[in-house]
Structure 1
């Protein structure tokens, strides 16, 4: 396409178009420029001419690393220091727990049988002694058990008398045998044993002994006649046979009597032993129903009322925690009559969770601290009694039971406590007192005494902590004097100086 040369008329038309556009938008641009200038002026006035970098410096003043206090503040602050030193620090952990009864000293006294609760001799809160009478029950069951005791006592008395008689007979038979060996007469023997027990053996032995002596006397009388020929030899032999037969009968009777007497004695001894066993079993039945050992020498079994009386006695010294029945109420076997507890020593129960299972290695008897919030955060000592063997599925923890003494009677079952247990083994490390460590903006630091009233802030990193010491892993050297009492006051002074 061929170029068309610009003419004066076309150039004039273009200039007129730009002037027309500028005339339309010019006022709007002027207004916007005025507004921007006004905003900059107001902002300059409000900031006072301070730049953003200057403002940042003003908002973050630098806190000094040390401060020097005048003598007056040194005296008023009463600052104390302890040198950083090597100590055996053991990591501890505090867990919640509860005071509980000692299970071995908390007994639910129950009715051993059916009956009528005729008397309750104690009230809740009352102190009782071991063996003290606390309630009385009337029950036919205990009456029957005691009646069995009476029966067995009579049987034993009879067995004892039989044995004593058998022993006397055996002894008398031995003495009679000695008199017979001395060839004393029947009259002398009968006279000696007229009032002494020989049982059924008296007639058999004495009769055969009398016949033997008679046969011996007849033989002795006929012997001289046989020598002179007045009596035939046949008569002599007959007398000799009679005498020998009489002696045989006597010896048989005596041996049989001795054997039977010995057997009767043994049988009587066995009967007495059996009577003793049956009597002991009867007493055991009574004592099982009573729940305590009854004094056999003083117990009254003379009437039916005494037989049916069941005395409930305290198994140990303690206090009555609760009472369930009133006088003359009917009770059944197994009903809870009273709850008796001894709170001189109690248990502390807490749960060792998974993160603290290293504490399970603690041996029995290890001392732990127990803090009781209800007693103004007083701290008591307890000793580890045992750890549970089973992990509780709902809490993934193991129960810890510790024994705590309650000599002052301040602790009560159910109290909430905080239990401090050691975790792992103690180790030697550079340590300071826990009250020396203060914090600001998540940074732990201490104050080191540089003498002449000057204290320097030193940032530290801490490790394991116990009630007495805190491990310092970074920031201090052994021997540096670290402020304990007054550290918080120094922190306040340091922050005030930073603001100034």
Structure 2
């Protein structure tokens, strides 16, 4: 077989390169078309997927909405077993309220720390913590020289008053006797008769001055009366008569002067004695007040024993009001200093509720004193008490940005104790009428509130509602319900369960 002619290697390489260049060129020509087709295909697939998924969600949502009916009918057996109860939707007075935390506190006017008024020895203590005491009951006995000195001051002032009283009575008697004597002098009674009338009555130094001048005046009058007839007959000169007349006039002037001076001096002495008696009374009263300040109560001044030296230093500590002994700090025969707390006494028949109104609740500050608020006590099984607002603080506390609220609460049963945590419900805003239903009537599903209306014949209709203010007794309905409809209270949750089960079954 003849051999084929040989092809040079260089020629083969050139042919292979030309073939590759031709293939790449063909690809380059169709590549843009392929890219466009690929993009269009991908977009179509994406749009198809979106449309398919959205339609599926809408169908599911529609299916779910359809699955939950808006009413249901129950057989008579279930209705009898459930014992449904209804209350008509009705207009009720509603008021916005807010609940804030608080604490029970002592009434400061009925919580007293009985302290030692002076240094001394606590001789006896007659009460123990928890014991009830009456107002004025003896709590303890303190012995101190300070109270002894205060009582000794009373004795001193009593003696000074007795002296002032005696002086005043003497001056009063002198003035009275002098007045009576002046009346006799005006009548021209003789000196002897006056002396006899006032022989046993006090006239002091006024007796000599007035009676001596009065006697001289009477003597001069008698001499003048005797000489005047002689002057008419010529037996006595006219000069002698004029001399006697002058002597009588001088005696009368001296008498009137002595009488006026005596009257003025007697009145002045009486006024001075009265002033000294008043000053003695004031000093004695101040001494008693000093003792009563140390005692802490008013002592019976008529029966107080001041003559006994042992009783002088005895200080009785008595209860300022009826209450219970909260604590006792000292035992018998202990030394105490001024200001030491001996006994803490409290009356808890009424207490205070202290709370704070936050910045968001400042609208409540417009509440008046005496407004009623409800106080819930968790420690007493959520029992609710009523309290009356006593006052609001006017200063905002910088650390809490709030103002204090204090209300007075009665504690006649003795259940409340200071320090208890409470919840205070305060009204905010004005009361108004609104359509309302019972709180147990409103149920929820998927963030939608609704009630069930009894349409009769075992049929109950679901009615979606919007609610407003909530209280313990009523819930305000702002939309979706008409007054007078019979709204299910007891059994509303059971109807919700039946409605959901019925929807799942469909």
Report the counterpart of residue 341 of structure 2 in structure 1: 336
Q: What is the CA–CA distance in structure 2 between the aligned matches of 1:178 and 1:422, rounded to whole Å? A: 83
Task: Report how many residues are paired.
Answer: 454
1:194 CA displacement:
0.4
SS in 2 for 1:450: strand
Report the counterpart of residue 122 of structure 1 in structure 2: 127
Q: What is the CA–CA distance in structure 1 between the aligned matches of 2:93 and 2:221, rounded to whole Å? A: 109
1:232 CA displacement:
4.4
CA distance 1:481–1:240, shift in 2 (3 Å): same
1:172 aligns with 2:189: no
Report the counterpart of residue 398 of structure 1 in structure 2: 403
Report the counterpart of residue 444 of structure 1 in structure 2: 449
Instruction: Output aligned runs, 1:367-446, within 5 Å.
Output: 367-446=372-451
1:201 CA displacement:
0.8
1:273 aligns with 2:274: no
Q: What is the CA–CA distance in structure 1 between the aligned matches of 2:186 and 2:136, rounded to whole Å? A: 63
Report the counterpart of residue 488 of structure 1 in structure 2: 493
1:112 aligns with 2:117: yes
Q: What is the CA–CA distance in structure 2 between the aligned matches of 1:396 and 1:270, rounded to whole Å? A: 61
CA distance 1:387–1:195, shift in 2 (3 Å): same
1:467 aligns with 2:472: yes
Q: What is the CA–CA distance in structure 1 between the aligned matches of 2:473 and 2:306, rounded to whole Å? A: 67
- Please point out which of 315, 318, 322 is paired with 2:320: 315
- Please point out which of 144, 147, 156 is paired with 1:151: 156
Output one character per residue of 1:127-172: Cα deviation in whole Å (capped at 9) or x when no partner. Answer: 1222222122112222222222222222222222212111211111
Which stretch shifts more, 89-98 or 375-384?
89-98
CA distance 1:454–1:192, shift in 2 (3 Å): same
Q: What is the CA–CA distance in structure 2 between the aligned matches of 1:236 and 1:351, rounded to whole Å? A: 107
Q: What is the CA–CA distance in structure 2 between the aligned matches of 1:190 and 1:226, rounded to whole Å? A: 34
- Please point out which of 273, 278, 283 is paired with 2:288: 283
1:302 aligns with 2:307: yes
1:202 aligns with 2:211: no
- Please point out which of 232, 235, 245 is paired with 1:240: 245
1:429 CA displacement:
2.4
Instruction: Output aligned runs, 1:55-74, within 5 Å.
Output: 62-74=67-79
Q: What is the CA–CA distance in structure 1 between the aligned matches of 2:75 and 2:482, rounded to whole Å? A: 27
Output one character per residue of 1:422-444: Cα deviation in whole Å (capped at 9) or x when no partner. Answer: 23233332221111111233322
1:280 CA displacement:
2.0
Q: What is the CA–CA distance in structure 1 between the aligned matches of 2:251 and 2:60, rounded to whole Å? A: 146
1:374 CA displacement:
1.1
1:261 CA displacement:
0.9
1:83 CA displacement:
1.5
1:231 CA displacement:
4.1
1:479 aligns with 2:480: no
Which stretch shifts more, 343-352 or 190-199?
343-352
Report the counterpart of residue 24 of structure 2 in structure 1: none
- Please point out which of 326, 339, 354 is paired with 2:331: 326
SS in 1 for 2:456: coil
State TM-score, norm by structure 1. 0.84
SS in 1 for 2:483: coil
1:293 aligns with 2:298: yes
Cα RMSD, aligned residues only:
2.7
SS in 2 for 1:343: coil
Gaps spanning 5+ residues in structure 1: where?
Answer: 11-51
Q: What is the CA–CA distance in structure 1 between the aligned matches of 2:371 and 2:448, rounded to whole Å? A: 35
1:249 CA displacement:
2.1
SS in 2 for 1:447: strand
Q: What is the CA–CA distance in structure 2 between the aligned matches of 1:457 and 1:250, rounded to whole Å? A: 122
Gaps spanning 5+ residues in structure 2: where?
Answer: 1-10, 20-55
Report the counterpart of residue 76 of structure 1 in structure 2: 81
CA distance 1:176–1:450, shift in 2 (3 Å): same
CA distance 1:499–1:173, shift in 2 (3 Å): same
1:305 CA displacement:
2.0
SS in 1 for 2:67: coil
Q: What is the CA–CA distance in structure 2 between the aligned matches of 1:400 and 1:227, rounded to whole Å? A: 109
1:347 CA displacement:
1.1
CA distance 1:73–1:255, shift in 2 (3 Å): same
Q: What is the CA–CA distance in structure 1 between the aligned matches of 2:404 and 2:236, rounded to whole Å? A: 113
SS in 2 for 1:429: strand
- Please point out which of 263, 267, 271 is paired with 2:268: 263
Output one character per residue of 1:10-65: Cα deviation in whole Å (capped at 9) or x when no partner. Answer: 9xxxxxxxxxxxxxxxxxxxxxxxxxxxxxxxxxxxxxxxxx99x979x9693332
Which stretch shifts more, 68-77 or 397-406?
68-77
1:323 CA displacement:
0.9
SS in 1 for 2:368: coil
1:230 CA displacement:
4.3
Report the counterpart of residue 138 of structure 1 in structure 2: 143
1:328 CA displacement:
1.5
Q: What is the CA–CA distance in structure 2 between the aligned matches of 1:81 and 1:139, rounded to whole Å? A: 77
Output one character per residue of 1:86-144: Cα deviation in whole Å (capped at 9) or x when no partner. Answer: 22222222222111111221111111222211122211111122222212211222222
CA distance 1:216–1:446, shift in 2 (3 Å): same
